[in-house]
C-alpha cells in the first residue's frame, strides 16, 4: 500500500484526472504511466513486499491514488468488479450478529448479496423504503453498525439527502456507506459531506468505454486498513493490465461526464415536453422531487434518466438507431434498457407497481454523442 504521488491538493478535477497518481517513467521518460505486469517482486532490501493481491503493486497504487483524489478521500482500493468492492466492504466491516440498514431500491446485485450472502453469514439487516430520519431511527437496533445508501437510485433516480445520512450515522456511531456509481466522482463527492465509505462499480463511468469490469472503494486511512486486511484473504483485486487501462480511462473522466451531464439535461427537457412521453425522471429537472437536494449535493445531475413512453416500450426501443439496447450503463455510447425485462424482471408486475416502476419505463444511459442526434433518434422512434 505504498503511496503514489498525491499530486497537488488544490488541483481541480480535470487536472487530477490527468496527473494525480501517475507512475513516473524513470527509465525512458515517457509521459504516461508504464505498465508493470509482474506478479513476482524482489523481497530483499525493500520496504514493502509487493504482490498484486496485496493491492500494493505500481499500477494498483497509481489508479487508486487518482480515484481517492477524485473522491476527496484518503485512500482507495481497486477490485475486479463493483460487486467485489461491495462484498469486501460489507464483509470486512460486519461480523455475525451485527446489523446494517439498507435503502430498499438498491442495485439488484447488492440487494441479492444482502438477502443471500449476509443472511447466510448471520449478519442482520433491515431494508427501509424511504431514507429519512424517522425510518432510520425506526430501523436502528443496539447491534446496528452500518448504513448503506445509493443516490441517485436505479431506476427512478431518487435522491437521498447525504448530509442527513452522515449526521445520523455519526450520532449513532455507525459507518455510512454509499454506492456512488450513478453520480460518478465528478458529480458527487460524499466524503466531504461526512459519508465514510464510497463505492464505485468502475465498470460504469470510471471505465467509461464498456470494456473494463472493475470496482473501487474510497475511504479513510483507518477504514481502508480494515478493508484491505480482509480483502487480501478474499482476493478480488484488479489486475495490473486492467488497472493501467482504468487509469487511462480516468484521464478523460471529467471531460466525458461534463458532456454527458449537458446531453442528459437537454434530452430530459426534450422528453419532458413530448406528448408521447408520460413521465421523465431526471434530478436536473425542477419537476423532480429530489431536485433541491440534488442541487445542494451534486456538482452535475449525471447521465442517467428514465422515462415512460405512452406506446409499447419494446417497439419504441427497436425503432432507435443511434441509442442501443444494452443492460449496462456509463459508457461513451448511449444505451437504453427496460427494467421490466432486466433489473426488475424477477420482482414481477405487482412488485414493480409497488415500487413505482411502470412497465412502460425505460432507463436511459446518456452517452457523449451529439445531443441533436440523440434527440432526433428519440423523436423519430416516438
Ligand atoms: C453495475 C453496478 C454495480 C455492480 O458492479 P459490477 O461492476 O457489475 O460488479 C453496483 N452498483 C451499481 C449502482 C451498479 O450500477
Domains of the chain, start order? 2-250 (3.40.640.10), 257-381 (3.90.1150.10)
What b/e string do you get for 364-382 counting C-beta neighbours within 10 Å, with b at 16 or more?
bbbbbbebeebbebbeebb
Ligand 1 atom with least separation from CA of 203: 7
Q: Name the catalytic one among 36, 79, 87, 107.
A: 107
Average pLDDT for 167-181: 98
Ligand 1 atom with least separation from CA of 85: 9
pLDDT of residue 7: 67
| pLDDT band, residue 1 (cuts 50/70/90) | very low
> Ligand 1 centroid vs 184 CA: distance in angstroms?
12
Greater pLDDT, 66 or 355: 66
Task: Say how many CA atoms lie within 13 Å of 106 toward its Cβ.
Answer: 24
DSSP class of residue 237 equals: B
Q: Name the catalytic one among 75, 179, 228, 363.
A: 179
Q: What is d(CA 102, CA 333) in angstroms, rounded to the nearest whole number?
A: 31
3 state SS of 303: coil
Q: How far is CA 200 from CA 65, 178, 310, in A?
A: 15, 9, 34
> Ligand 1 centroid vs 295 CA: distance in angstroms?
24
> Ligand 1 centroid vs 335 CA: distance in angstroms?
16
- Cβ(199)–Cβ(177) under 8 Å? yes
Determine whether 29 is an active site residue. no
Closest alpha carbon to 99 in 136, 131, 129, 132: 136
Residues 270-314: tens digit of each pLDDT? 999 999 999 999 999 999 999 999 999 999 999 999 999 999 999
Name the closest-CA residue to atom 5, ligand 1: 82
Closest alpha carbon to 146 in 238, 226, 84: 226
| Neighbouring C-beta atoms of residue 329, cutoff 10 Å | 24
pLDDT of residue 6: 64
What b/e string do you get for 346-355 counting C-beta neighbours within 10 Å, with b at 16 or more?
ebeeeebeee
Average pLDDT for 326-343: 94
Residue to substitute in 89, 107, 117 for testing ligand 1 pocket (most ligand atoms within 8 angstroms of CB): 107
Ligand 1 atom with least separation from CA of 83: 9
Average pLDDT for 178-207: 98
pLDDT of residue 312: 96
> Ligand 1 centroid vs 222 CA: distance in angstroms?
25
Q: Spell out the long-range contacts of 118-123 with Cβ–Cβ below 8 A and sequence spacing 24 or more.
A: 118/90, 118/94, 121/91, 121/96, 122/96, 122/97, 123/90, 123/94, 123/95, 123/96, 123/97, 123/98, 123/99
> Ligand 1 centroid vs 86 CA: distance in angstroms?
9
Q: What is d(CA 336, CA 328) in angstroms, rounded to the nearest whole number?
A: 9
The residue length of the chain stands at 382
Spell out which residues line ligand 1, taking CB within 6 angstroms: 81-83, 107, 109-110, 150, 154, 179, 181-182, 201, 203-204, 213, 215
Cα-based angle 88, 90, 96 (whole degrees, multiple of 5)? 120
- Cβ(229)–Cβ(92) under 8 Å? yes
Q: Name the catalytic one among 41, 53, 324, 359.
A: 53
Ligand 1 atom with least separation from CA of 213: 7
Residue to substitute in 79, 204, 213, 344 for testing ligand 1 pocket (most ligand atoms within 8 angstroms of CB): 204
> Ligand 1 centroid vs 328 CA: distance in angstroms?
9
pLDDT of residue 350: 87
| Neighbouring C-beta atoms of residue 233, cutoff 10 Å | 11
Average pLDDT for 197-210: 98
3 state SS of 283: coil
Determine whether 352 is an active site residue. no
Cis peptide, bond prior to residue 155, ω within 30 of zero: yes
Percent of the chain at pLDDT above 90? 91
Cis peptide, bond prior to residue 152, ω within 30 of zero: yes
pLDDT of residue 2: 37
pLDDT of residue 259: 98
Q: What is d(CA 247, CA 277) in angstroms, rounded to the nearest whole number?
A: 39
Retrieve residue 339's grid coordinates.
427494467
Determine whether 41 is an active site residue. no
Q: Name the catalytic one among 66, 204, 256, 363.
A: 204
Percent of the chain at pLDDT above 70? 98
> Ligand 1 centroid vs 83 CA: distance in angstroms?
6
Average pLDDT for 77-85: 98
pLDDT of residue 343: 85
Residue to substitute in 148, 149, 181 for testing ligand 1 pocket (most ligand atoms within 8 angstroms of CB): 181
pLDDT of residue 3: 42
What b/e string do you get for 251-260 counting C-beta neighbours within 10 Å, with b at 16 or more?
bbbbebbbbb
- Residue 178 φ/ψ, nearest 5 degrees: -130, 140
Determine whether 119 is an active site residue. no
| pLDDT band, residue 344 (cuts 50/70/90) | confident
Ligand 1 atom with least separation from CA of 328: 1
Name the closest-CA residue to atom 7, ligand 1: 82
| Average pLDDT value over all residues in the chain | 95
Burial class (CB in 10 A: 0-12, 13-18, 19+), 315: exposed
Q: Which residues contact 44 (CB under 8 A, 6 or more apart)?
A: none
Q: What is d(CA 256, CA 330) in angstroms, rounded to the nearest whole number?
A: 10
> Ligand 1 centroid vs 202 CA: distance in angstroms?
8
Amino acid at each position: 500500500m505504498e503511496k503514489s504521488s498525491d499530486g497537488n491538493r488544490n488541483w481541480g478535477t480535470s487536472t487530477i484526472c490527468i496527473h494525480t497518481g501517475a507512475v513516473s517513467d524513470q527509465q525512458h521518460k515517457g509521459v504516461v504511466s508504464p505498465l508493470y505486469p509482474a506478479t513476482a517482486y524482489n523481497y530483499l532490501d525493500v520496504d514493502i513486499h509487493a504482490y498484486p493481491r496485496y493491492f500494493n503493486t505500481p499500477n494498483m497504487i497509481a489508479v487508486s491514488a487518482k480515484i481517492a483524489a477524485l473522491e476527496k478521500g484518503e485512500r482507495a482500493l481497486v477490485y475486479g468488479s463493483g460487486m467485489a468492492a461491495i462484498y469486501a466492504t460489507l464483509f470486512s466491516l460486519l461480523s455475525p450478529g451485527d446489523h446494517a440498514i439498507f435503502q430498499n431500491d438498491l442495485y439488484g446485485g447488492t440487494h441479492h448479496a444482502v438477502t443471500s450472502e449476509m443472511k447466510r453469514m448471520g449478519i442482520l439487516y433491515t431494508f427501509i423504503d424511504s431514507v429519512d430520519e424517522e425510518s432510520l431511527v425506526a430501523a436502528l437496533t443496539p447491534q446496528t453498525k452500518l448504513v448503506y445508501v445509493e443516490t441517485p437510485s436505479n431506476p427512478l433516480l431518487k435522491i437521498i439527502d447525504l448530509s442527513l445520512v452522515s449526521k445520523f450515522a455519526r450520532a449513532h456511531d455507525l459507518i455510512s456507506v454509499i454506492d456512488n456509481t450513478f453520480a460518478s466522482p465528478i458529480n458527487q463527492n460524499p466524503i466531504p459531506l461526512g459519508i465514510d465509505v464510497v463505492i464505485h462499480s468502475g465498470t460504469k463511468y470510471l471505465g467509461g468505454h464498456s470494456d473494463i469490469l472493475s470496482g473501487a472503494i474510497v475511504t479513510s486511512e483507518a477504514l481502508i486498513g480494515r478493508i484491505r486486511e480482509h480483502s487480501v484473504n478474499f482476493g478480488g483485486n484488479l489486475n495490473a493490465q486492467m488497472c493501467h487501462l482504468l487509469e487511462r480511462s480516468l484521464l478523460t473522466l471529467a471531460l466525458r461526464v461534463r458532456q454527458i451531464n449537458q446531453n442528459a439535461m437537454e434530452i430530459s427537457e426534450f422528453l419532458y415536453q413530448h406528448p408521447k412521453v408520460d413521465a421523465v425522471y431526471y434530478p436536473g429537472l425542477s419537476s423532480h422531487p429530489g431536485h433541491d437536494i440534488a442541487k445542494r449535493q451534486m456538482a452535475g445531475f449525471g447521465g442517467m434518466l428514465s422515462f415512460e413512453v405512452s406506446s409499447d416500450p419494446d417497439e419504441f426501443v427497436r425503432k432507435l438507431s443511434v441509442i442501443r439496447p444494452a443492460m449496462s450503463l456509463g459508457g461513451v455510447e448511449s444505451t437504453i434498457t427496460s427494467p421490466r425485462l432486466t433489473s426488475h424482471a424477477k420482482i414481477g408486475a405487482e412488485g414493480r407497481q409497488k415500487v413505482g416502476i411502470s412497465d412502460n419505463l425505460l432507463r436511459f444511459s446518456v452517452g457523449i454523442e451529439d445531443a441533436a442526434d440523440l434527440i432526433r433518434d428519440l423523436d423519430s422512434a416516438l
